[in-house]
A and B are shown apart, each in its own frame.
Chain A
Amino acid sequence: MDLSAINPVLLIASLMVAATPLLLAAIGELVVEKSGVLNLGVEGMMITGAIAGFAAAVESGSPLAGFVAAALAGAVLSLLFAALTQIALANQVASGLALTLFGLGLSALMGQRYVGVKPPQMGRIDIPVLSDLPVVGRILFAHDVILYFGIALTAAVWVVLKFTRAGLVLRAVGENHEAAHALGYKVVRIRTLAILFGGACAGMGGAYISLIRVPQWTEGMTAGVGWIALALVVFASWKPWRALLGAYLFGGVTVVQLNLQAAGVAIPVEYLAMSPYLITILVLVILSADKSSAPASLGRSFHASR
């Protein structure tokens, strides 16, 4: 065992990177579910965002353009879900699963030309003085822009949901769509916007994997992150900061356990491998011991005639 081989600064820096795709997807889905819609298509939107972002970044040479394209692609795909569930009133669970399957297939098709291509690199921000600080500089002030965007988005979603009128309306729609409708709010329109937001976030999360975390395009490369994001929203009791905590815990424990393995720590590897799931669930379940519960209209279709 040689713990000195682990560099805690690099460790924390890389766990933040590992957590970001999960965080982006979870925050998006959180808003969707707060509006009373259950979109199980996160994985499909992520993988579509991953290839759309990758392709756009390669073609334009700009990673940022890639992220914009990824957000758009995720949103466009989610529009399909919105059309199915909000207009055609299709079953949300089935539509979401279909979206995932569709996204996986579509991305594999779109990605044919991009296997083995190297994407342009996303630079780290470099703030004079701050980025050069020992320890803190590398951990806090030397990441890519998207990572900060993820944290800022969490804060923004929290503020909007908790303190603004728009957030109140969104929550009202999610809790009781009939009452919200009776008050004159456009339930379908609000939900569609939430779904688009969720799609854009998931798309960016996917692009974060293909452009920064790996960086390459491989078919099926999200490998289940979307499903973990879905679970995370539930375990985080639909609260943005808890989703952030959960994402960092999950990403963190994943990276830490790989580090411990490489350093030869004498904990059986099986336990290390399952630890991200166990620890994240445990912490979030303990946290959610309060009375928070799912939005009351979650997963129910709404039609103004009823």
Chain B
Amino acid sequence: MKLTTLFASAAVALGLAAGGALAQDKTKVGFVYVGPVGDGGWTYEHDQGRKAVAEEFGDAVETVYVENVAEGPDAERVITQMALQGADLIFTTSFGYMDPTINVAAKFPDVKFEHATGYKRADNVSTYSARFYEGRAVQGTIAGHMTESNIIGYIGSYPIPEVIRGINSAYIHAKKVNPDVEFKIVWAFTWFDPAKEADAAKVLIEQGADVILQHTDSTAPQAAAQAAGNVITFGQASDMAEYGPMPRVSSIIDNWAPYYIARTKAVIDGTWTSTDTWDGIGPGMVGIGEISDAVPAEVKAEALALKDAMAAGEYNPFTGPLKKQDGSDFLAEGETADDGTLAGMNFYVEGIEGSIPE
């Protein structure tokens, strides 16, 4: 796969070189994607954001992207190429691009960088992310009500704070409405590998799970759940509505377009500064997909009430009393987790079994 990515990105870079010389006056916005734009999930939504930028600014902006870029050294090369080809603003859209982004940014002080879901910033590097864990709270509530086996399967990608936060949030809210609930967590160690994601879903279903939550990018777990029957799932990153009303009963939708447009505008106007953005349901960066009729009306009402409370800022999914997995105190009664704690979350809350891979 490495080789293909290498050649693919080399080919794209050559294409950029050809186009770059002609369009010096345009603002050039680059996007680096971890999966293909047709994954139906994470990368698809980022690309929707890119298209929104292209539409908003028309001829004033040129957008370019490279898909299927492996996290690590490959990413550094692709980002460097983009910067060399005259990009003014580069969005790197996966957690694993964090260090590559910082490294390249140090070499190109005049280029602005935006890294998704990371925590390292510089004068020309902003970070942005969405509070997906708010959506996970809604999913956990529905999952806790809907499960009959009381086993909820969770497909994790990599053990990073982003994913762990989602697991904790879903667990806390499933447990709240169903004290008997149990989470089975499988780490796929990939963002995008439909066959493996489907295998993981099948394994969880074979081991008794009747709800599958996923934190990987493709719709494969939805298809696996559909084939198994009588299992519910949630769209991840994108609505995945084509799998509704069953197995997909709701979804978390990432809406990057407003942010991408705002940041591109800031570059055009020369007002861009390094910022840290972390928006949730309230500002609209996280959307909750239509809850299907497979969910009973009262459960749906409860989930929507929770969503509204979070949107209004009245409720924080991480509100005490909560303990960590090892039994030590996390949050006291009524206390809420601050953003620093959430951003670096590396522990399970009490009740989740198993350990987080290092």
Stretch at the interface among B81-89, B110-118, B220-228, B289-297: B220-228
Question: How many chain A residues touch the partner (CB < 8 A)?
Answer: 48
B111-139 to A contact mask, C-beta < 8 Å, 1/0: 00000000000000000000000000000
The answer to whether A220 and B358 touch across the interface, beta carbons within 8 angstroms, is no
The chain A residue sitting closest to B11, CB to CB, is: A101
B196: which A residues are within 8 A, CB to CB?
A: 223, 254
Question: Is B66 an interface residue, CB under 8 A from the partner?
Answer: no
Q: Report if A5-B219 is in contact (Cβ < 8 Å); known contacts: A220-B35, A264-B184, A270-B358.
A: no
Nearest CB of A to B23, in Å: 24
Q: Is the interface of A mostly helix, strand, loop or mixed?
A: helix
How near does chain B come to A209, taking the closest CB pair, in angstroms? 5
Q: Is B40 a contact partner of A273 (Cβ separation < 8 A)?
A: no
Would you call B202 an interface residue if the criterion is a C-beta within 8 Å of the partner chain's C-beta atoms? yes
The residue on A at minimum CB distance from B4 is A100
- Verify A223–B1 contact, CB threshold 8 A: yes
A255 an interface residue at 8 Å Cβ cutoff?
Answer: yes
A residues less than 8 Å from B4 (CB atoms) = 43, 97, 100-101, 104, 227
Chain B 116-171 interface residues, beta-carbon cutoff 8 Å to A = 153, 159
CB distance from A50 to the nearest CB of B (A): 10
Q: Is the CB of B1 within 8 A of A264?
A: no
Report the Cα distance A4→B222, complex, angstroms.
Answer: 26
Whether A262 pairs with B207 at a CB distance below 8 angstroms is: yes
Q: Which residue of B is nearest A9, CB measured?
A: B206
Contact B192 A223 (CB under 8 A): yes
Q: Is B242 an interface residue (CB 8 A)?
A: yes
A5 touches B207 (CB 8 A): yes
**Residues from 167 to 216 in A contacting B, C-beta threshold 8 Å:** 209, 213-216
Shortest Cβ gap from B223 to chain A (Å): 4
A6 part of interface (Cβ distance < 8 Å)? yes
Do A225 and B38 touch (CB < 8 A)? Answer: no
Contact with B along A223-267 (1 / 0, CB 8 A): 111010000000000000000000000000011001101111010
Asked if A218 meets B220 with Cβ closer than 8 Å, knowing A14-B202, A121-B227, A268-B358, the reply is yes
B interface: dominant SS: mixed
Cα of A215 to Cα of B222 in the assembled complex, Å = 10
Contact, CB under 8 Å: B195 / A14: no
Identity of the chain A residue whose Cβ is nearest the Cβ of B204 in the assembled complex: A262
Contact partner, B194, options A104, A214, A258, A270, Cβ 8 Å: A214
Asked if B347 lies at the interface with its beta carbon under 8 angstroms from chain A, I say no
A220 to B4: give the CA distance in the assembly, Å.
12
Instruction: Using CB atoms, name the residue of chain B closest to A251.
Output: B199
* CB-CB contacts below 8 Å: B209-257 with A: 218-220, 222-224, 226-227, 240, 242-243
CB-CB < 8 A to B185: which residues of A?
Answer: 261-262
Are A18 and B199 within 8 A (Cβ)?
Answer: yes
CA distance A7 to B194 in the complex (A): 23
Taking a contact as CB atoms closer than 8 A, the residue among A7, A118, A225 that contacts B195 in the complex is A225
Chain A neighbourhood of B224, CB < 8 A:
214
- Interface flags for B185-210 (1: CB within 8 Å of A; 0: not) read 11101101111101110111011100
Bound form: Cα–Cα A255–B199 in Å: 7
Contact bitstring B79-112, A, C-beta under 8 A = 1, else 0 = 0000000000000000000000000000000000
CB distance from B101 to the nearest CB of A (A): 23
Do B199 and A254 have beta carbons less than 8 Å apart? yes
> Are A214 and B207 within 8 A (Cβ)?
no
B356 to chain A, nearest CB (A): 9
Known: A14-B202, A216-B194, A255-B199. A6 touches B207 (CB 8 A): yes
Asked if A261 contacts B187 (CB within 8 A), the reply is yes
B residues in contact with A97, CB < 8 Å: 3-4, 7
CB-defined contacts of A11 to chain B, threshold 8 Å: 206
B194 touches A259 (CB 8 A): no
**Cβ of A84 under 8 Å from chain B:** no
Q: Does B353 contact A (CB under 8 A)?
A: yes
| Contact of A53 with B by CB under 8 A | no
Interface residue from A213, A261, A264, A266 paired with B198 (Cβ < 8 Å): A213
B354 at the interface (CB under 8 A from A): yes
Interface 9-residue window, one of A26-34, A58-66, A108-116, A281-289: A108-116
Q: Using A101-B8, A101-B11, A216-B194 as known contacts, say yes or no to A115 and B186 having CB atoms under 8 A apart.
A: no
User: Distance (Å) between the CB of A116 and the closest chain B CB?
Assistant: 3
- Once the chains are docked, how many angstroms separate the CA of A190 from the CA of B3? 29
CA A11 to CA B193, docked complex, whole Å:
20
User: For chain A residues 1-19, which have a beta carbon within 8 Å of chain B?
Assistant: 5-7, 10-11, 14, 18
Chain B contacts of A258 at CB under 8 A? Answer: 186, 199-200, 203
Residue A21 at the B interface, CB < 8 A?
A: yes
Q: CB-CB < 8 A to B36: which residues of A?
A: 108, 218-220
23 contacts between A and B (CB under 8 A): A14-B206, A18-B199, A97-B4, A97-B7, A101-B11, A115-B38, A118-B223, A121-B227, A209-B194, A214-B195, A214-B223, A218-B219, A220-B39, A222-B195, A223-B194, A255-B199, A262-B185, A263-B207, A264-B353, A266-B355, A269-B159, A269-B189, A273-B189
3 interchain residue pairs of minimum CB distance = A116-B242, A219-B38, A219-B36
